[in-house]
Amino acid sequence: AIAELRLDKLRFRAPVFHGDTLTAYTEVLAKRDADRDDAGIVRFKHWGVKHDGTVVFEGEREVLVKRRSHWR
């Protein structure tokens, strides 16, 4: 990422304890052009789940990322 633009809708839904097994997930919600030609803005949803299926964290973020066409 070139820059973190926004962190939003953070929810810590359940406690986590030593010994818990956690799995993190990410979904791309949207993408759009940025003001610069070499980058775009991507909005993600992130969430974490304990071994028993309990969702312990949810949040969204927007990131300025370099376009594939500009990687060298």
Provide Rg for the chain, Cα atoms. 15
- CATH number reported for the structural domain that contains residue 53 in this entry: 3.10.129.10
> Which pair of structure tokens corresponds to residue 43?
């909005």
pLDDT of 1: 85
Bridge partners (DSSP) listed for residue 49:
23, 55
Count of domains forming the chain: 1
d(CA 71, CA 68) in angstroms, rounded, equals 5
Q: What is the span of the domain harbouring residue 52?
A: 3-70
Residue 72 has pLDDT above 80, yes or no: no
Say if pTM beats, i.e. exceeds, 0.95.
no
CB 60 within 8 A of CB 8: yes
> Which pair of structure tokens corresponds to residue 32?
């759009």
Model confidence over 15-51: pLDDT tens digits? 999 999 999 999 999 999 999 999 999 999 999 999 9
Residue 52 has pLDDT above 80, yes or no: yes
